[in-house]
Structure 1
Amino acid sequence: MSEARTSEMPAAHGPGAHGRAGLAGLAVGAVGVVFGDIGTSPIYAFRETFAGHHQLSHGLAEITGVLSLIFWSMMIVVTIKYVMVIMRADNKGEGGSLALLALISRSTARAQRRWTAGIVLLGVFACALFYGDSMITPAISVLSAVEGLTTVQSGFEPFVVPVAAAILIGLFAIQAHGTARVGAFFGPIMLLYFATIAVLGIIHIADRPWIIVETINPVNAVGFFWHDRLHAFLALGSVVLAVTGAEALYADMGHFGRRPIGLSWLVFVMPALMLNYMGQGAMILSLDPAAANEAVQNPFFLLAPEAGRLPLVILATLATIIASQAVISGAFSVTQQAMQLGFIPRLRILHTSESAVGQIYIPVINWTLMVMVILLVLFFQTSSNLAAAYGIAVTGAMFIDTCLLTVVLFVLWRWKPWYSVPLLALFFLVDIGYFTANLTKVPAGGWFPLLIGFIAFTFLTTWAKGRKLLIERMDEAAIPAPVFIKSAVNSAQRVPGTAVFMTTSAEGIPPSLLHNLKHNKVLHERVMLLTVKIEDVPYVDEEKRFELKALGNGFFRLIVRYGFMQETDIPAALVQVQSCGPEFKMMDTSFFLARQTLIASQRPGMAIWREKLFAWMLRNAESAMEFFKLPPNRVVELGSQVEI
């Protein structure tokens, strides 16, 4: 699954930003960023159907059947499901599984609370599957492109894995420097790539123009299943590779808008892809059996004449680097969203662009992905072996998207059953067919994305549950604010300045304030109890950002709200706060943070091993000081022990 794949287009970032740029410009930008994954699928998808783990004979009925399956998969999964239906479900302009999850959770919390827990788990598992996808996509994309060197000269075969590994290491190494400059070239390169693969397809279609009619005729897809059910079913596991990356259309909706993405897909990308697939099929059918057996091992590069194969390999490699870059950027974006929504502990985030807020770099995610991607390349060695591992995470995420869409249609949009039920039945039929076909590849490598998904799911749910328990335990010991203020102001000396006490709860007195009074026996002239709340919308308007309440005797409670796509900057927020005394000046303000040390216990909550895992995650989380951009020389941390 591709979630919030990229943020390479600064002009189109943020709510309503895509309305400020031209439709054509955004459509070109979408070609360069959104369609990298699905655009590089022709390099290996058609090949894997006939030369992969479940090899299929390449006769006329099989080739036209597979081409028809690819065409109708694109129509049903990409055009109808994502472009026409799911992309209508935006969360204030943002898309992606987590944005959709937040939208549904907010709406169902009002309408039908019993749905909420199951929906959250589905959305979190889709997010977990994405991490498996984000490891496999760069590995299979770059490796499949570099394998094109063997069509130029067979002697290059020993260099394929080292060259692919070197390219991937270089790609991950440049992430810390940002991708704004690289992103400027994405559009033109991908436009050239799509135009090239379309022309190569047309050249071979010219010899057999009837293949166009055979491809769009659904009878061929149905007939393929009718005459050879087993091989047709197994072929689905490879056909689905042609639509991997479809969910990126929805995930990147906030960057480009629904119309530019739909326009790019229908007018340019889908025609180019189908022309190339049909060209590969026409080429195989034009060859004698012996030559066809050889050509089916790498039909994408053999579309080009011998003199043009090396340039095609270079162009395809650039395209796969762009697709990989989009996935890596997406991993950063999805991690930031999950962090803001409370599913991942605070991690160090670096901003690589002054103009584009969405261009971020998360070191721990970058280096973890790099290690896993290189290990995949070294372990599986070929893109065909990796293709067995690819697909199951994507089809699982697509199935979850359909489940979430069901809630959207019936609970949010209240569509009539007479047309929503047949539509959902079609989507579920396709998704279940693809997912079950990919389950046959589990022993050959499909276990990898499932393993990564379950590990990520365990971490995500453990952090969310542990954080909830931690807040509950701290609330149990909290002292009501009026009681504390009444007793404290008469017993403690007041000192000049402002003290800001960060607290997760908007009720009671935070432990950091209690510890400060206990040890230092002073209170500042102005005491601010500050709570940061991340809302389940991508952006919070400025007029709804602050909620200030005077508690008396120089005490104030402030709630600052952010959207899950926004950056938290507390000093910048405090400058805007008025009506609570003098203007905030950082040199007169001290920030007090509580750092909890967890003690695993037998109290009801989580299993002991999950409590220990949560404690480890908490110890290794990024300091709240850096996460909230607090000035280091104005921060005091006070520790405490908590049993959960």
Structure 2
Amino acid sequence: MSADASATPGIDQPAHGHELHGHSRQGTPALALGAIGVVFGDIGTSPLYSLKEAFDGHHPLFPDVLHVYGVLSLVFWTMTVIVTFKYVALIMRADNKGEGGSMALLALIQRASGAKRWSSSLVMLGVFATALFYGDSMVTPAISVLSAVEGLTTVQAGLEPFVVPIAVVLLIALFLLQARGTEWVGKLFGPVMLAYFLTLAVLGAINIAYRPEVLTALNPMWAVRFFAADGMLAFLALGAVILSVTGAEALYADMGHFGRRPITLAWLYLVFPSLILNYLGQTALLANHPEAAQSSPFFLLASDEWRLPLVILATLATVIASQSVITGAFSVTQQAIQLGFMPRLRIAHTSASRIGQIYIPALNWGLMIMVLGLVLGFRNSTNLAAAYGIAVTGTMFITSCMLGVLLYRVWNKPLWMAVPVALLFLVVDGAYFSSNLTKVVDGGWFPLLVGLITFTMLTTWAKGRRLMLDRLREAAIPVKVFVQSAVNSAVRVPGTAVFMTTASDGVPHALLHNLKHNKVLHERVILLTVRIEDVPYVERSKRVDFTDLGEGFYRVVLRYGFIEDPDVPAALALVTQCGPQFRMMDTSFFLARQTLLASSRPGMALWRERLFGWMMRNAESAMEFFRLPTNRVVELGSQVEI
């Protein structure tokens, strides 16, 4: 990937080397505690609504022993197969220089396999997984906070009219706080979630004591009997069962912040046991009191005097889970911008010590509007559950597809080993995705619509950039020819001119326009390209490449990882091979701003060209994007047809 002034990845903070990786200076226990607070928030709050949806949702089951034990067996083995085996044992081994997530996995496969024929389909899969994530990031805060606040009705039934207003107030407050950063709140995440998971375990164990035989429900034969007795209802129940593992993808996506070992330890020794104990407790409660299915099995685990404190603790946990998803949306957006799939957006850094603490105002307010719309439109967690699951299962299915390529192309496993493993997960994920598709009419259309719109915008931007750069290269002049002719006809003036360009050859259009209109050349001319590599970090020693073109002309390439933040002035200050040290007061930065003219020539459909033009007009200023000094920037415009 490369960068220029018109359509360039980059954000406004100094670059950090790999030596400042987020988990390099902390011990495993501290990182595990942090992972409990950040990574497991979403999956940790799933007990609030998973079993409730199975027995009181859109396809309700009668809470007899067969169905209650059958669902619990499905929940246990789903968490074991998808989270423990797929993510913890396999996917998390595929780290891209310590980083995880769909984009990091895509970059790893492309770099390691070197198979061009896989590139197009893999890119589309990775982009679509990213698009689905945005739908998930809208539904998660809505259903999590709503399901927690609904616990008030188990304390006092008359509080039901206040559930939606309270949820709206909490969500507005959550989004308003994003601009202040999450570092100060993050210090509370781990301890609060630790207390929450221990509470889950204790409540579950207490209720198991009333029906110890519920432990036999962990036997997979209960799931088999469930399908044998009523296959269609069991298939439909998968749409509720999958809610128990929503957030599993966060284990891989947040691996770069905490490391594989702390996340694995936290899952195996605290989170997984606590969740299973709580689900067992809810199952025992439903087996003894089937009428609890009409209320909220989770909150009924606690006695009357402890129910209100449980509601408060669960609400805190859901706010933390929502915060984690919002932060994840910021990070995914940053990576998409860096890799050239989104236009520049203003990115603010809310922490001086942690590179991952970012805030994107446009995305924050857009998410808030959509989340509030979901709460006001669906009104309760049962209705929202219909919209939940499709984005998650779609992402998991795509990850399984990429896992197959990873096993065969990157880890060089033989086909007889790679194919069965990939097929196992594809069958499991495909079954859950198919079950969730039955909820499209009831609300599942929402994440699919969001994913489709986002996918269209991401691919339109990527293709539009490529077409625009191709058009610009068509009229490019070889540098050597230009240098020889220009130095003999233009007046040289003191100072340094830096011309941003995406191409590693040819003359930037901004330089041509400047020479045409001003008829001067600076004593030192830098043709600067920012390249985003398919690794998360680039070592400082490999940051800069330069070529002396003669006559005071130099080509400089700055290389950054896809989660680093390019800072052009800071990088140039380290360059010593291109004449005297750069001084910003003697340096002018020339940026090209293209105006797109939609045309009927081959490339994209006319409506996509207009969409691309609208995205270009609303992109963040390249001056702020590259942290360029505001009083040293000159923008020169041109018109381009694609």
- TM-score with structure 1 setting the length: 0.96
Q: 1:317 to 1:307 in 2, by over 3 A?
A: same
Matched residue of 1:348: which SS?
coil
Kept after mapping to 1: 8 A contact 2:17/2:537: no
Q: 1:76 aligns with which of 58, 72, 81?
A: 81
User: Which residue does the alignment assign to 1:20?
Assistant: 25
Alignment partner, residue 309 of structure 1: 307
Question: What's the offset of the Cα at 1:285?
Answer: 1.3
Q: What is the rounded CA distance, in whole Å, between the counterparts of 2:612 and 2:242 in structure 1?
A: 37
Residue of structure 2 aligned with 1:233, choices 235, 254, 273 = 235
Q: CA deviation at 1:14?
A: 6.9
Partner of 1:179: 182
1:219 equivalent in structure 2: 221
After TM superposition, give the deviation of residue 12 of structure 1 in Å: 13
Which whole-Å deviations, capped at 9, do the CAs of 1:485-524 have from their partners, x for residues lacking one?
A: 1011011111100000001111110000011111111100
Match of 1:132 in 2: 135
Structure 1 pair 142–614 and aligned structure 2 pair: CA distance change class (3 A): same
- 8 Å contact kept, 1:591–1:635: yes
Contact 1:26 / 1:260 at 8 angstroms: preserved in 2?
yes
Looking at structure 2, the residues matched to 393 and 270 of structure 1 have their Cα atoms a distance apart, in angstroms, of 23
TM superposition shift of 1:601: 1.0
Corresponding position of 2:564:
566
Q: 1:345 touches 1:617 (CA, 8 Å); kept in 2?
A: yes
Structure 2: distance between partners of 1:416 and 1:12: 36
> Hey, what does 1:595 align to over in structure 2?
593
Equivalent-residue separation in structure 1 for 2:293 and 2:405 (angstroms): 46
- Report the residue type matching 1:238 in the other structure: A
- CA deviation profile, 1:392-433 (whole Å, cap 9, x unmatched): 000000000000011000111111333333322221111011
Report the AA paired with residue 250 of structure 2.
Answer: A
Q: Does structure 1 retain, via aligned residues, the 8 Å contact 2:478–2:507?
A: yes
- Give the match for residue 637 of structure 1: 635
Q: Does the 8 Å CA contact 2:55/2:293 hold for their aligned counterparts?
A: no
Paired AA for residue 226 in structure 1: A
With over 3 angstroms needed to count, the CA separation of the structure-2 counterparts of 1:12 and 1:74, relative to structure 1, is farther
Gap regions ≥5 residues in structure 2: 1-15
Look up the equivalent residue of 1:37 and give its one-letter code. D
Partner of 2:321: 323
Q: Is the 8 A contact 1:247 1:398 kept in 2?
A: yes
**Equivalent in the alignment of 1:205:** 208
Residue 606 of structure 2 aligns with an amino acid whose one-letter code is I
Specify the alignment match of 2:265 in structure 1.
263
**C-alpha distance in 1 between matches for 2:598 and 2:551:** 39
Residue 47 (str. 1) matches residue 91 (str. 2):
no
TM-score with structure 2 length normalisation? 0.96
How far has the Cα of 1:200 moved from its partner? 0.5
* Separation in 2, partners of 1:271, 1:87: 20
After superposition, give the CA deviation of every residue in 1:540-583 in whole Å (9 maximum; x if it has no partner). 11111111000000000000011010011000000000111110
Name the residue aligned to 1:153.
156
Work out the CA distance in 1 between the residues paired with 2:556 and 2:540: 15
User: Percent of pairs identical after alignment?
Assistant: 66
CA root-mean-square deviation? 1.3
Count of residues paired in the alignment: 627
C-alpha distance in structure 2 between counterparts of 1:219 and 1:504, whole Å: 60
Q: Distance in 1 between matches of 2:78 and 2:357?
A: 33
Cα shift at 1:106: 2.1
Larger RCO, structures 1/2 (Cα 8 Å, 6+ apart)? 2
Matches of 1:588 and 1:146 in 2, distance apart? 59
For the residues of structure 2 that align with 1:635 and 1:627, how far apart are their CA atoms?
12
Measure the CA separation in 2 of the matches of 1:317 and 1:387: 18
Q: State the SS of the aligned residue for 1:559.
A: strand
Q: Whole-Å Cα distance in 2 between the matches of residues 12 and 536 of structure 1?
A: 15
SS in 2 for 1:174: helix
| Alignment-derived partner of residue 364 in structure 1 | 362
Tell me the SS of whatever aligns to 1:536.
Answer: coil
1:497 is paired with a residue whose SS is: strand
Call closer, same or farther: CA 1:158–1:12 in 2, change over 3 Å. Answer: farther
Aligned letter for 1:66? V
- State the match for 1:4 in structure 2: none
* Letter of the structure 1 residue corresponding to residue 217 of structure 2: T
Alpha carbons 1:13, 1:255 under 8 Å: kept = no
Q: Deviations over 1:207-257 (max 9, x none)?
A: 111211x23211111111111101100000000000000000000110111
Supply the AA of the counterpart residue of 1:208: R
Structure 1 partner of 2:8: none
State the match for 1:388 in structure 2.
386
Indicate conservation of the 8 Å contact 2:56/2:293, yes or no.
no
Counterpart-to-counterpart distance in 1, 2:104 and 2:334: 12
Q: 2:238 corresponds to which letter in structure 1?
A: L
Q: Does 1:30 align with 2:29?
A: no
In structure 2, C-alpha distance between the alignment counterparts of 1:358 and 1:603, rounded to whole Å:
42
The within-5 A match list for 1:492-503 is 492-503=490-501
CA contact (8 A) 1:546 1:559 kept: yes
Q: Judge conservation of contact 1:595–1:640 (CA < 8 Å) in 2.
A: yes
Other structure's SS at 2:23 match: helix
Q: Distance in 2 between matches of 1:569 and 1:19?
A: 23
Separation (CA, whole Å) in 1 of partners of 2:478 and 2:287: 79
How far is the alpha carbon of 1:15 from its aligned partner?
6.5
Residue matched to 2:403: 405
Distance 2:583 2:18 in 1: 31
Verify the 8 A CA contact 1:15 1:254 in the aligned structure 2.
no
Alignment partners' CA distance in 2, 1:15 and 1:406: 32
Distance of 2:82 and 2:503 partners within structure 1: 43
Q: Structure 1: how far apart are the matches of 2:419 and 2:124?
A: 24
Q: CA deviation at 1:357?
A: 1.1
The aligned residue for residue 251 of structure 1 is 253
What is the match of residue 10 of structure 2?
A: none
Structure 1 segment 219-618 matched on structure 2, within 5 A: 219-287=221-289, 292-618=290-616
Summarize deviations over 1:38-57 as a string: whole Å, max 9, x none: 00000000110011000101
Preserved CA contact (<8 Å) 1:13 1:356: no
Residue 163 (structure 1) shift: 0.3
Distance 1:535 1:470 in 2: 21
Q: CA–CA distance in 2 between the matches of 1:357 and 1:295?
A: 45
Matches of 2:180 and 2:334 in 1, distance apart? 18
Corresponding residue for residue 65 of structure 2: 60
5+ residue gaps in structure 1? 1-10
Opposite residue 70 of structure 2, the aligned amino acid is G
Asked if structure 1 preserves the Cα contact closer than 8 Å seen for 2:18 and 2:537, the reply is no
Letter matched to residue 345 of structure 2? L
Letter of the structure 1 residue corresponding to residue 107 of structure 2: A
SS class of match (1:20)? coil
Q: Distance in 1 between matches of 2:329 and 2:493?
A: 46
SS in 2 for 1:26: helix
Contact 2:22 2:354 in 1 (8 A): no
Question: 1:117 corresponds to which residue?
Answer: 120
Post-superposition shift, 1:296? 4.1
Contact in 2 for aligned 1:389/1:449 (Cα 8 Å): yes
Structure 1 position 602, deviation (Å) = 1.4
| Whole-angstrom distance in 1 between the partners of 2:214 and 2:42 | 26
Q: 1:14 to 1:400 in 2, by over 3 A?
A: farther
Aligned to 2:13: none
Partner of 2:100: 95
| Structure 1 residues 119-164: Cα deviation after superposition (integer angstroms, max 9, x where no partner) | 0000000000000000000000000000000000011000000000
In structure 2, the residue matched to 1:169 is: 172
Deviations 1:254-292 (A, max 9, x none): 0111111011001000000010001001011122xxxx2
SS at match of 1:309: helix
